[in-house]
Chain A
């Protein structure tokens, strides 16, 4: 089974709202070894000029990957996840994600390409607050290796 190229260009429904919490930011920071108090202590974050604790730059993957997982679970798309490796990833922030943000993710499949035995799928995910403020654009390329 291979990824169905007919899905290229498709934009999916926005995700359910995701509430960025202090606990999740601290958990993520700990998992990547980031000891910054700005990820844990809201008073430290406020002293640095932020409304609440702030997330490290790759935190958005928690939100975008959850949205991608919805796509990958679509049997019509035909992704064999155990054969998938990450090809490329980028994030562009209008401002940092922080505790208290309630955001939705919306993903578009930009392209699906067959390269020899591999299939690449490039996606763009826009993260906006539920009030419509754009926070982050994430680009991702997944590579499904041939069997």
Chain B
């Protein structure tokens, strides 16, 4: 996979994580509502969403955060690799009632290296021309193996 991380020792601040696009449909929101226990009607009922002043049904902010979290954990190769993760929900992801739904594009850049094979990452998530997550930062633990060809035991 082109977006696979090169491991802690092979990465430097400034490295970009290849962007990924995620489709979000009404069915995804219903499934997420069930799995998360968040049944706020604005995430599945267009009539009420519009009645309370929203453009249409909107995705759970937590669903968008979860997609961006998945972006990070799939890059790290471990669903438990993200030790700190925070976001601000800057705009809703509006999900129309069609088969295509909304598109969320997530990208990331490594901003620093910490002890313990951890790196800090800034994440960007957009839907249409809106940034849907801002101030999205994470700490991600990467595999600590030695860089390719760098095994000191076999070095002269």
A residues adjacent to B (C-beta < 8 A): 24, 27-34, 36, 38-39, 48, 50, 54-58, 61-62, 65-66, 69, 81-93, 96, 98, 139, 145
Contacts and interface: CB of A to CB of B under 8 A. Distances in A.
B73 interface: yes
19 contacts: A24-B35, A27-B35, A29-B79, A31-B28, A32-B35, A32-B63, A34-B73, A39-B79, A56-B70, A56-B80, A57-B85, A61-B36, A61-B38, A61-B62, A86-B89, A87-B88, A89-B61, A89-B87, A89-B89
Interface stretch (B11-19, B40-48, B147-155): B40-48
Interface string B84-100: 11111100100000000
Contacts of B85: 57-58, 90-91
Query: Which of B63, B72, B85 is most buried by chain A, counting CB atoms within 10 A of its CB?
Result: B85
Contacts of A98: 80
Interface residues of B, number: 42
B57 interface: no
A88 B86 contact: yes
Nearest to A32: B66
Contacts of B89: 85-89
A35 B137 CA distance: 23
Contacts of B86: 88-91, 139
Interface of B: 22, 28, 31-32, 34-38, 40-42, 48, 52-53, 58, 60-63, 65-67, 69-70, 72-74, 78-80, 82-89, 92, 135, 138
A28 B35 contact: yes
A36 B79 CA distance: 7
